[in-house]
Amino acid sequence: MFVRKYCDGFKSNSNKGTRMKNQFVIPIEAADQITLANLEQAREYHKSELKKYEKGGYWIHAEDVAHYHAYIQALDILIPYYGG
């Protein structure tokens, strides 16, 4: 229901980018650059949170510490795909 309600207006053309109904086109290269920047920022955020935690005086849930390590490893694999 959610997907149908909010995504019916989107059409994809793999060579030209993503087009919103009667709106604008985001070129694939721009979308990749946006994605890359987002992934790199997420990796840096998780690294900085772990660094503060490991220095002491900063608290993170134990399961989040494990998740942050896993996220960083996954992002290290994924980022090169987008050119990082």
What are the extents of the domains in the chain? 2-82
Q: Is this model's pTM higher than 0.75 or not?
A: no
Is 50 exceeded by the pLDDT of residue 4? no
DSSP string across the chain: -HHHHHHTTEEEETTTEEEETTS-EE-HHHHHHHHHHHHHHHHHHHHHHHHHHHHSS----HHHHHHHHHHHHHHHHHGGGGT-
Tens digit of each residue's pLDDT (9 = 90 or more) over 10-54: 455 555 666 666 777 889 999 999 999 999 999 999 999 999 999
- The predicted pLDDT at position 19 comes to 62
Average of per-residue pLDDT across 67-84: 95
- The predicted pLDDT at position 55 comes to 94
With both helix axes pointing from N to C terminus, report the angle between 62-78 and 28-55 in degrees, rounded to the nearest 10: 140
